[in-house]
Structure 1
Amino acid sequence: MVRAKILPMLIAVVIVLPFFFYLPPSKAATVDQLIKINPENVLEHVWRISAFGSRITGYEGSIKTRDYIVDQIRTYVDNIIIQSFNVTVPYDYGSSVTISGPNTEITVKAYALAPNLIETCYTSGLEGKLVYIKSTYGDLRDFEGTDVAGKIVVLDFDSGEAWRWAVYLGAKGIIFVLDKGKLYTYVEDLTKRFWLPVDLPRVAVYEDDIAPVLDKLRRGEGDFKAVIKVGMKLEVRTGYNVLALIEGSDPNLKDEIVAAFTYYDSWSIIPELNPGQDEAVNIGILIELVKKLAETKPLRTVLIGFFSGHHQALSGARSFIYDAIYRNETLKDILNRLRIVTEISASAYGSKIGIYDQGHFHASVSASTPISYSNNFIKLRTGWDTGKPTEYPGIWNVLRDVVIQLVGEREAEQVLYFDEYNPLTSPLDSIRYFEFEAFDLLQILSYSIGTVSLSPYRNTPSDVVEGTVEEKENISLVANAYANTLNSLLQYKYELPFSEHDFKENDIRILVGRTLIYNMTKGTYEPLPRTTVVLMFFQGVLLQQPLGPYIRHYIIVTSDDKGEFMVPVVVPGGAYTPSAYKDDPSEGPVDYVVDFGEYGTVRGTIAVAPQPETYAEISLFPAGSLVVFDVIDPETFSPTDEMGILIIDHYSQNFARFFSMLPEFVAFIPHPNYITGVVQIFVNPELATTPRFDVIFSLGGTRWYSLILTNKNRG
């Protein structure tokens, strides 16, 4: 099980160090000269956008948001480019719950939860007796005296991890009850799903929709049954980036481009219930900034970027870079002229702001990062040409000056921090990804100005912004701080001391491959089309030290009709742990899984080659699965990462010919604290030398504890 200690707090406690540089008053602008973004205008955009529905990339709400952005900025920019790309997402076609019982039969709209890894738990009708569990402890004690085996369990959505215990005890489905009066935190996004492809339907319904039945269930009255229908499927959808150019007004400087980026998609543990309002604050700020920049006539060209695919491993930003280098000369020209990437990362829920130059996608540090990039970023942050006519005071000094003018010097000391944000050591609830992380892989100078604390309600149906005075003040501060710091770069009257680029194919790394199945009759591998591939970024090393466990991302792609797939822009020098699944038909457990056996083509991780292209073949086999819960160390009674797992033929004691296994890590964080003790085993007796297997869990070392599971008696 996932224990509470692994998620210690809902609100991040970010350790930050004040890092101020003195800026002489003579360099300061007056308040009247500042760009001023009205937070009420920002909020108006937020509420309009959230009314479009879920903005998961490829959803209708995402398309409507794209069109809204274009409509809002088209009269203020010189050129708009809509760039498309493919992305694999869970698409919800609609779900329902039908409840029948004494004098009762109702059908209500239900909302499927995010997949268990890639398993959407699609079902045309799962039927079972209903039982309500009141979660007091969030563990096994809540189930004392109640048999849930083979039943559909009803739980309040804020019941923590009690649903997992229901599954451990044999429940066949889960119905979560949503209370519109409650606020749910991002922790639900981590704990309300398995990080393995377990076929266990989970849906949510609103309390008001089933109130009469729910009251009776809570009192233990009546005999009710339910039929759950889940209409979610994993599909390849089209995402869109909205790119716009405001041409520089100075003929000598307009070839230099400075970017202003954000993302416009959103995410929720319940994909269809996804207001994403706190995330939409960034969209509103950037729309309003475009209007202001059109008035100020920047000296150098501005690239405005609204990316989608943020929640799919920055797929929009990575696709932009790939297309620019491999496919599109217009985008390539823009990329080559790009000197600095800036990003707004705002929240209505925090008053403290800081500068970020690295995130959790890859931490922007690697053994291959040149010293020149670090030196140039220090120059960008602290300034250059001090005492000369070409002096620029640095973005930190400009930011500090702007904030002082906005709120006063005393207040500035309280809200302005150089956030010593270290992705290598920051806790789970401080994880942040930035669009610029795709660009600093190209050594393009990149930073974000953002709010230190994000809304704790992100990634849930509770991600709403009320428009309080405090929220407006928070939005105003970060929006105007970002806008005016950016404008200082745009209006700098001399050439930036950062050279232009000439990017070529060898400047990025891509991963290509095929999904295969071994034909035992022919003795050859054959393509397995339309297969879902999951690539988990494996933590590398920096100066012989491992990167922190939170530096991670996972990429999900789908192979085409020939079994071929391509992943644009992966981390140079990194490694990815691959797995693959084919769930066709969608109903029931996955049908094919990655093969670690005799004919498996995957051995450990895929190391990204120094050449532009890394090639990988991933073989699968048709399989059934066994899910083992609470695999723990008997000395500590806790899950452990020291467990060795062997899947062997019972009679020969050799490895099984075809097999696979996956231990569960919450959010794919490779750290002992995030091991749940759940392991999924995949075998196929029909393809084995004999139909009998032993599954051995061993601690190894000097501790010879072992658990042996066998199907010897049944085959």
Structure 2
Amino acid sequence: MRRSHTKLKYSLIIFLIITILFLPTVSASPGSSTPASDVEVIKKFIGNNTAAVLSHVRTLSSYGSRVVGTQGFYEARDYIASIMSNLADEIYYQNFTVAVPRYDIDFSYSVDGNNYRAKIYAILPNGFSLGQIGDIEGELVYVGSGELDSYRNMNVNDKIVLIDFESEINWLRYGSILGPPKAYIFIEPYVRGATFNDSLGTEFTRKDVYGQYVSIPINTPRFYARISDIKHILSLLENGKTIKGKIRVRAEWRLVKACNIIGYIKGTVFPDEVLIVAAHYDSYSIVPEISPGADEALGISFMLELMKFFSINRPKRSILFVALSGHWEGLAGARIFTKNIILGRTYNVKLFIYLAFSASGSELAILHAGRFYFNPTAGIEYHRAGVLDKLNLYIGQLKIKLYGGERSVESFIYPGYAWLNIIYGDPLSIFDSEAFTLAGGYGLAFYVPGPRLYWGTPYDEYSKFKENFENNVVSRKSNFLEASASLIYMLANDLELNIKEPSFRLFDTNYGGFSTIRGRVLIYNLSTGWYTPVPNAIVRLRVIASMPNSFGLGIYGGYPKIKAEYVEGYYTTSGSIINITDSKGEFTIYGISPSALLGTEYLPSIRYSYIIEACILNERGEIEYYSDLGVHSRDVVFEINREEEMVNHVIFRCGSIIAYSIIEPETLSIPKIFRLEVRDALSHMTPQFYGSTFYSFSEGYSAFIVFSRPDTPIEIFIVSRSPLTGEPKPLVFLNNVSRGLRAEYGRSTYLKFSFIQIAEDLYNICSERYSMFYSQGIRNLEVEDNLNSIRLYLDKAREKVALNEYTQSMILALEAWKLAREVYVKLYYEGLNIRFSIIFVFILLIPFIYFFERLLFMYPDIKRQTLAMVSISIVIVVFLYLMHP
């Protein structure tokens, strides 16, 4: 009996031990105190509230445009704030300002004594140039696709040109060198009926947005018109009518109010631990006034429903729901929010999750870095902090399948191939969480890869979004909304979530550091010999990222350019961060990345060199003051070497000279610049004051601007690497037939038919140099034939221009340009050969004179011997002077 009792006791003890050991496995998977079954409540909520998500998207996209500063943006702000205020325990507003262009446009036209009006819209500015302000008047002409043949028998000088939107950069490539026109109106793509009046508008995608706006401040006004608003004009032009148009433009750069809306829901167990869930609510479009941004609104709409859920089902740790703005102004809202987090230290933030959704995709990717800062080495910190282990645990528990069939987040954290493919494949993969990561925090983007075809266009409409949403979300048993909600639920409720506290930093020498630029814009005052601050100057910040391998990355106007050596641009789709100086001429930009000079075992060093440009626009919208690159220049290119980098930038009063069609005449490709100089045409030295924007070549379009004072004629010398051989060859020597190019204060001077002028200036230089050789008895029959051919080509090119036969004119001028380059090089080497031969002859003369004196005279004393050698030298030099050049 006793033995039986003992046996029973031991059996009970063993049973209890086994029960205790396996109890955690029964209630929850290892490492998580939140049962996977608990997640069903949020999945069910999301599934039942997709109609609410659609309702938010429909409302937000109905405002017409949510570009910061528009009426629709403020309506969206109020709509979101009203919802969040009813759900949050506390609500906060972070107000800040961003610089945006604001337009007021009125377009009218007259034909046969009848007056009409039509609606047109502004296109994004070229750099910080707003185009001409005031009244723009001229005859309306239509050039279709804008190819060179479209201008045949047409004089577009001082005209208002209508051009198809899908013509891309042809307005700059061809139209501007022939006119330039008073303005361009890009016409919405359309399907033509029997007549223009029967035409129906279609649409364009972001793939069609190329070159309609550029980064250099060319002041040519550009507008956009829907076919329904413009087809009457096209019909009249088709019938041979003459139409006079008038565009009244009021425009300015303005600091407008933007706002981050922050809703706080307090946790029940860990109220001091905070999870941030964020999405941006503004939108972006090449036509800022038409930017419905329906697909863009999915992230913020989903966030509002998440907030509703957690207001009812209280999380164990606190959540900050953040509606960010200024996304397309260089993550302005995210940088301001991050600055306040790291300086205020109000919250113990565990993780920042940014909702980067699109209904054009169906799978979820979880990324730690994007294309804004390109800061991938922070990925190793996520391993050390335990973030990835937790996420992988949740993904395994919930049986979530990520983008590309991945079952782990490892591939989405650098150097994972999924991360590389996504980042390099999509120029819109810039995330507000990147600012938090740069500062040393742990930020993740819940990103849905997809084509996003209508982002940045006027056609990101609710109807298109709803169709994609039905196909990629509603109709799928498991979708990215449920997956995202489940992971956020686990993070908010896991009692065993123990993420290492982030180490925030304002400066770091190796990837990271939330630095600040504080600067002043100044004018050098010649009367006082010192610098004067300039209020209300427009400041633009760009960056050159230098890398020793092919990971170089940059975005120009929304499109990436991956290069082998370096990249120019900035991290945003607008290509820059723009600010305006205050009354003291000062400006501040937060959240700037220092260089990563050390690198890691899997990523080389990156050097970020920052470029500042500044200008003042006059009442006509023209640049009156621009960055000085002359002797008084300061802090044009600099690096971040401390937490707060102080810069001083000098501008000067000037006018601009704009040259188009700067290409390689042999291959018609964009030149690879080897050397570029702006000189005083009189002294051939660097001018005291000058500016330029030659970075356009590396961005892929063939135009540049030089800024100078009217009292200083300038010349421009460009040497490029031959696309055929790679050797440096002179490409351009613009000096206006040795008179120099002159600007006018506050006005743009356009080099019309620049391909002819470039060829002509090169021809004149070559002709002058060959005349010097010819006068000395040196002839080269090949050079003479080439010079005659160049003159013939140029004369015929001028004739074709007079006949408005521009294609033939350009062909002839390019042939002349190509020959002139060859002649220039030949004459250069001819001159070198003459110099070297003279040096060689004089070296030989020294022993010759000595031996010649010994042979003829053999004077015994030094005095007579020296006199004889001097006499022989004089005779030989006179003989060579008469017989040799």
Give TM class, smaller chain: 0.7 to 0.9
Q: Give the equivalent residue in structure 2 for 1:151.
A: 159
C-alpha distance 488-442 of structure 1, shift in aligned 2 (>3 A): same
Instruction: Give me the whole-angstrom Cα distance separating, in 1, the residues matched to 2:504 and 2:677.
Output: 50
From 435, 456, 462, the equivalent of 2:459 is 462
C-alpha distance 546-160 of structure 1, shift in aligned 2 (>3 A): closer
Whether 1:564 and 2:586 are equivalent positions in the alignment is yes
C-alpha distance 220-679 of structure 1, shift in aligned 2 (>3 A): farther
CA contact (8 A) 1:644 1:697 kept: yes
Match of 2:436, SS state, is: helix
CA contact (8 A) 2:201 2:226 kept: no
- Within 5 Å, which residues of 2 pair with 1:494-573? 494-499=496-501, 508-541=514-547, 547-549=552-554, 550=560, 552-553=570-571, 554-573=576-595
Whether 1:705 and 2:737 are equivalent positions in the alignment is no
Question: What is the CA-CA distance between 1:227 and the residue it aligns to?
Answer: 0.8
Question: What is the CA-CA distance between 1:495 and the residue it aligns to?
Answer: 4.3
Question: What is the CA-CA distance between 1:152 and the residue it aligns to?
Answer: 0.9
C-alpha distance 569-70 of structure 1, shift in aligned 2 (>3 A): same
Q: Which amino acid aligns with 2:387?
A: L
When normalised by structure 2's length, the TM-score is 0.69
Q: Give the equivalent residue in structure 2 for 1:598.
A: 631
Instruction: Give me the whole-angstrom Cα distance separating, in 2, the residues matched to 1:479 and 1:236.
Output: 36
Instruction: Give me the whole-angstrom Cα distance separating, in 1, the residues matched to 2:516 and 2:524.
Output: 26
From 333, 342, 345, the equivalent of 2:346 is 333
Instruction: Give me the whole-angstrom Cα distance separating, in 2, the residues matched to 1:90 and 1:537.
Output: 22
Question: What is the CA-CA distance between 1:680 and the residue it aligns to?
Answer: 1.1
From 676, 682, 688, the equivalent of 2:707 is 682
Structure 2 unmatched ranges of 5 or more: 1-28, 191-199, 555-559, 561-566, 596-607, 743-885
- Within 5 Å, which residues of 2 pair with 1:241-252? 241-250=260-269
Question: What is the CA-CA distance between 1:475 and the residue it aligns to?
Answer: 4.2
C-alpha distance 426-168 of structure 1, shift in aligned 2 (>3 A): farther
Q: Among the aligned pairs, what percent are the same residue?
A: 25
Question: What is the CA-CA distance between 1:677 and the residue it aligns to?
Answer: 1.7
From 86, 89, 102, the equivalent of 1:78 is 89
- Within 5 Å, which residues of 2 pair with 1:13-52? 28-29=36-37, 32-35=40-43, 36-37=45-46, 38-52=49-63
Question: What is the CA-CA distance between 1:629 and the residue it aligns to?
Answer: 1.3
**262-271 vs 547-556, which moves further:** 547-556
C-alpha distance 523-52 of structure 1, shift in aligned 2 (>3 A): same
**53-62 vs 558-567, which moves further:** 53-62
Instruction: Give me the whole-angstrom Cα distance separating, in 2, the residues matched to 1:370 and 1:161.
Output: 39
Whether 1:181 and 2:201 are equivalent positions in the alignment is yes
Q: Give the equivalent residue in structure 1 for 2:176.
A: 167
Instruction: Give me the whole-angstrom Cα distance separating, in 2, the residues matched to 1:529 and 1:101.
Output: 45
C-alpha distance 194-500 of structure 1, shift in aligned 2 (>3 A): closer
Q: Give the equivalent residue in structure 1 for 2:820.
A: none
Q: Which amino acid aligns with 1:589?
A: E
1:607-630 superposed Cα distances (whole Å, 9 cap, x missing partner): 011x21101111001111111112
Match of 1:349, SS state, is: coil
Question: What is the CA-CA distance between 1:503 and the residue it aligns to?
Answer: 6.8
Q: Give the equivalent residue in structure 2 for 1:632.
A: 663
Match of 1:29, SS state, is: helix
Q: Give the equivalent residue in structure 2 for 1:194.
A: 214
Q: Which amino acid aligns with 1:100?
A: S
1:252-308 superposed Cα distances (whole Å, 9 cap, x missing partner): x22111110111111111111111111011111111111012222110000111110
- Within 5 Å, which residues of 2 pair with 1:400-549? 401-402=399-400, 413=405, 420-422=417-419, 426-427=423-424, 429-466=426-463, 468=466, 470-476=468-474, 477-499=479-501, 508-541=514-547, 547-549=552-554
Instruction: Give me the whole-angstrom Cα distance separating, in 2, the residues matched to 1:290 and 1:352.
Output: 22
Q: Give the equivalent residue in structure 1 for 2:359.
A: 348
CA contact (8 A) 2:674 2:728 kept: no
1:187-222 superposed Cα distances (whole Å, 9 cap, x missing partner): 4544211211111111122322333322121x2511
1:411-469 superposed Cα distances (whole Å, 9 cap, x missing partner): 99499995545469954744411000000012211111121114211111111131545
Question: What is the CA-CA distance between 1:472 and the residue it aligns to?
Answer: 2.7
C-alpha distance 395-624 of structure 1, shift in aligned 2 (>3 A): farther
Whether 1:381 and 2:388 are equivalent positions in the alignment is yes
Question: What is the CA-CA distance between 1:703 and the residue it aligns to?
Answer: 2.8
Whether 1:128 and 2:138 are equivalent positions in the alignment is yes
Q: Give the equivalent residue in structure 2 for 1:17.
A: none
Q: Give the equivalent residue in structure 1 for 2:393.
A: 394
Q: Give the equivalent residue in structure 2 for 1:232.
A: 251
- Within 5 Å, which residues of 2 pair with 1:282-301? 282-301=299-318
C-alpha distance 196-412 of structure 1, shift in aligned 2 (>3 A): closer
1:656-689 superposed Cα distances (whole Å, 9 cap, x missing partner): 1111111254xxxxx95x4212111111123xxx
Q: Which has the higher contact order (CA 8 A, sep 6+)?
A: 1
- Within 5 Å, which residues of 2 pair with 1:664-683? 664-665=695-696, 672=698, 674-683=699-708
CA contact (8 A) 2:42 2:309 kept: no
CA contact (8 A) 2:546 2:552 kept: yes
CA contact (8 A) 1:188 1:269 kept: no
From 373, 380, 387, the equivalent of 1:362 is 373
Instruction: Give me the whole-angstrom Cα distance separating, in 1, the residues matched to 2:316 and 2:280.
Output: 25
From 297, 302, 320, the equivalent of 1:303 is 320
Whether 1:581 and 2:589 are equivalent positions in the alignment is no
C-alpha distance 555-214 of structure 1, shift in aligned 2 (>3 A): same
CA contact (8 A) 1:450 1:478 kept: no
Instruction: Give me the whole-angstrom Cα distance separating, in 1, the residues matched to 2:448 and 2:468.
Output: 14
C-alpha distance 488-601 of structure 1, shift in aligned 2 (>3 A): same
Q: Give the equivalent residue in structure 2 for 1:266.
A: 283
C-alpha distance 412-561 of structure 1, shift in aligned 2 (>3 A): closer
C-alpha distance 227-427 of structure 1, shift in aligned 2 (>3 A): farther
Structure 1 unmatched ranges of 5 or more: 1-22, 384-391, 405-410, 666-670
CA contact (8 A) 2:317 2:492 kept: yes
Q: Give the equivalent residue in structure 2 for 1:668.
A: none
Match of 1:699, SS state, is: strand
C-alpha distance 352-181 of structure 1, shift in aligned 2 (>3 A): farther
Match of 2:490, SS state, is: helix
Q: Which amino acid aligns with 1:320?
A: F
Q: Which amino acid aligns with 1:238?
A: K
C-alpha distance 468-567 of structure 1, shift in aligned 2 (>3 A): closer
C-alpha distance 364-117 of structure 1, shift in aligned 2 (>3 A): same
Q: Which amino acid aligns with 1:340?
A: L
C-alpha distance 32-482 of structure 1, shift in aligned 2 (>3 A): closer
Q: Which amino acid aligns with 1:394?
A: L
Q: Give the equivalent residue in structure 2 for 1:68.
A: 79
Q: What is the aligned residue count?
A: 648
C-alpha distance 500-423 of structure 1, shift in aligned 2 (>3 A): closer
Question: What is the CA-CA distance between 1:710 and the residue it aligns to?
Answer: 1.4
CA contact (8 A) 1:664 1:675 kept: no
Q: Which amino acid aligns with 1:104?
A: N
- Within 5 Å, which residues of 2 pair with 1:314-329? 314-326=331-343, 329=344
- Within 5 Å, which residues of 2 pair with 1:103-142? 103-135=113-145, 139-142=147-150
Q: Which amino acid aligns with 2:693?
A: L
CA contact (8 A) 2:440 2:502 kept: no
CA contact (8 A) 2:383 2:389 kept: no
Question: What is the CA-CA distance between 1:64 and the residue it aligns to?
Answer: 1.4
Q: Which amino acid aligns with 1:536?
A: R
Which structure has the highest helix share of the two?
A: 2
Instruction: Give me the whole-angstrom Cα distance separating, in 1, the residues matched to 2:321 and 2:364.
Output: 22
